[in-house]
A and B are shown apart, each in its own frame.
Chain A
Amino acid sequence: MSTTRQSDAASPWRAPALLAVLVVLFVLEGSLSNALFSGSWNSALGILNMGLLSAIMALGVNITWGYGGLFNAGVVGFLALGGLAPVLVSTRPVPGAWAAGGTGVLLALLVGLATLGLAAVVARWLSGALRFWAALAVIVAGFVIYRELFDPAVAAIEANNPAQAGNIGGLGLPVLLSWPVGGLLAAAAAWGVGKVALGLRSDYLAIATLGIGEIIVAVMRNEGWLARGVLNMSGIPRPVPYELNLQADPGFQARAAGWGMDVATASGIWVKLCYAGLFVAVLLALVLLSELALRSPWGRMMRAIRDNETAAEAMGKHVTRRHLQVFIIGAAVIGLAGAMMVTLDGLLNPGGYAPLRYTFLVWVMVIVGGSGNNWGAVLGAILIWYLWIKAEVWGPAFMSVVTAAMEPGPLKAHLLESAPHMRFVAMGLVLLLVLRFAPRGLVPEK
């Protein structure tokens, strides 16, 4: 990155100005009702909540890219893996699932891990051509044992009450506990990938993470015993009250009347505000921690490595180990965001994890916001998310103005129909323009 970073200082007012723009945009969305804005505070807060989650994802990406200069192309996978945590930790246990095959699956997974570990040891201690074949033999033997244990256990779990459950079930613990667990799951996966792909060319990590991202999503889609796969897992517990309970509560009805709103709208807004409060608290804590880290000797070392690896290595820094560290921390933050997202939705939908939306859009957020700057990543994420959602409305509105003078025909129909896809083109253009003309982003690194 050293070649694209200009040395002149940027105005310190950039971040507050961007924040002001965001506030205006959300107020417009909440209060104005016309072709461009919905005029519903429920919708504005809905966008804000996902914007805050996107900000946490962008923070995770910014830690790997802005501090470490590493390209993680599998954000979607770490996010999905984090989303598994609320299901496994906080949903109610499924009666009979553990008895049916819980121990079998655990044993199989242990055998699988032991196989990989043994193969690694064998590969380390042997040398020459023998190394590869010995490791392969260990893996093949381990795989056969693993499948022998795994298949019947999975079949038993999936046969247990298949209409409503068929999965292993959760532990019934509080859902907030699952957020750090989501981070840990993602961190474990990142350790595995990073261990292999780091220390080689910088592109290799990008390609390996692209692969692990697709594989994690494929596993979550197909392993029904884990979280019901494509059948989706709904009814994940919430850390905030339910709208229906609020609407039935006389105290809340009185308060809603005091605000001058009907109870249904007020309950929706109240729940979203509760989520927004939780998310802002997590976001601020993360920003605080990463700012402190960035200013510590560790942060200086990370930036030194990013700006000149050779020089940092000559100073005795273990570059690969530091890269692994920063890659794991970034993935953990993304996993945390994944757990929070599933909690917000109350639903785990493995079919919905699309790489363009969850990997590359987050990258646009970081690049636009300002790589290396935490506030830049946060504000950029909320801005880009807002535009992404609104572009779905604005694209067709814009297209209907453009095509107003055209006679009705197949071309006009095609243009109107494909207008929602315009946002992909728009995001690509935004990324390319920012990368080319303002590589330090809207809020540059200090």
Chain B
Amino acid sequence: MDIANALVAILNFVVIPAAAYGSQLALGALGVTLIYGILRFSNFAHGDTMAIGTAIVILLTWGLQALGVSLGPLPIALLALPIGIAITAGLVLLTDRLVYRHYRRVRADPIVLVMASTGVMFLMNGLTRLLIGVDEIRFDDGARFLISVQQFKAWTGLTEGLALRLSQFITLVVAGLSCWALFRFLNRTRSGKAMRAYSDNEDLALLSGIDPERVVRLTWIIATALAVMAGTLYGLDKSFKAFNYFQILLPIFAAAIVGGLGSPTGAVAGGFVIAFSEVAVTYPWKKIAGYLVPGWQPEGLLQLLSTEYKFAVSFVILIVVLLFRPTGLFRGKSF
């Protein structure tokens, strides 16, 4: 019975939160890695793209709520998400037209593009603040739990409870569906193949008659869609605060590099590696140790690092990967 309790506790406090967080990171890292593969620079504005996209989704959610629209148990944000993605993608395409295209044409160093992306980051950060302010906002409506602790305890009779929040469930479903759609797109469709060809070898792709501007536009649209999805799911799961979206940039970059920059499979794997390590390292294992080793009462919390240092986990993983395997787990591009 104690072992069952321990397993339930691990599932409740480690596996479920880490899986939801990992899906959000994976969606963000997929965007970073696609932009890296096609446009060949690390987009520092990605976090703030997530923030502004989520801010637009929140505004639309409020609009729909005012109109009296309801999705029953599901949050209305899901209905607002496609419109939010369309608006944000328009905005991002505008930044590409006005900012990045010039540097592509003059074949500027990648680091100049990184610099330009920090300018875009500043701009988007300011726009987000203008749109919605800097306060913490909760915008999840509908039902809260798919399985609540009381229900679970009543069903199983265990002392340890298990809760699956609806937002976590939605995150897993949406992330799974969009990954499936993305990989299908990249592997099966003409446009997807054109994108992969362009990423592999730009000159060869141009020779085969692939329109580079079309590939670039598609990349921005897909990366933005993934970013807004990641941002909205993160906001539904936790809460929306503009600064958190700047901070999540580090785990997202770490996920993309761990998987191998430019490799979509790597980005997904990297997202889960980072999320599971972060949650496992900052979780106090005392209770679970108590179940597994009867009669042992450890002195401390058995927590490797306090939660304030969760970003240190992604940083350390990043450093280890840079030291031992700079191309990442799935052999991305390191140079």
Contacts and interface: CB of A to CB of B under 8 A. Distances in A.
Contacts of A436: 99, 102, 116
A432 B120 contact: yes
Interface residues of A, number: 52
A214 B130 contact: no
B127 interface: yes
A422 B126 contact: yes
A265 interface: no
Contacts of B41: 203
B67 interface: no
B108 interface: yes
A111 interface: no
A429 interface: yes
Interface in A260-276: none
A173 interface: no
A320 B82 CA distance: 46
B253 interface: yes
A435 interface: yes
A184 to B, nearest CB: 22
A234 B137 CA distance: 33
Interface in A175-209: 196-197, 200-204, 206-208
- Interface of B: prevailing SS: helix
Contact of A132 (B111, B123, B322, B324): B324
Nearest to A222: B308
B94 to A, nearest CB: 12
A428 B99 CA distance: 12
Contact of B121 (A131, A207, A428, A435): A428
Contact of A203 (B42, B122, B125, B312): B42
User: What size tier do the contact residues of chain B reach?
Assistant: 35 or more
A206 B42 CA distance: 9
A356 B243 CA distance: 10
A421 B314 CA distance: 30
A301 interface: no
A1 interface: yes
Contacts of A348: none
B156 interface: no
A421 B250 contact: no
A3 interface: yes
B315 A424 contact: no
Nearest to A195: B323
B183 interface: no
B247 interface: yes
Given A206-B42, A436-B99, A201 B309 contact: no
A222 B306 contact: yes
Given A69-B111, A355-B246, A428 B125 contact: yes
Given A3-B108, A203-B41, A356 B314 contact: no
A204 B108 CA distance: 18
B190 to A, nearest CB: 30
A214 B116 contact: no
Given A73-B44, A202-B110, A207 B118 contact: no
Contacts of A360: 118, 121-122
A218 B115 contact: no
A202 B111 contact: yes
A373 B315 CA distance: 33
Interface string A215-243: 10011011000000000000000000000
27 contacts: A3-B106, A3-B107, A69-B111, A73-B118, A123-B323, A151-B300, A200-B326, A200-B335, A201-B335, A202-B110, A203-B110, A203-B111, A206-B111, A206-B114, A207-B250, A207-B253, A208-B319, A210-B249, A214-B311, A218-B309, A364-B122, A421-B126, A428-B121, A432-B119, A432-B123, A435-B115, A436-B102
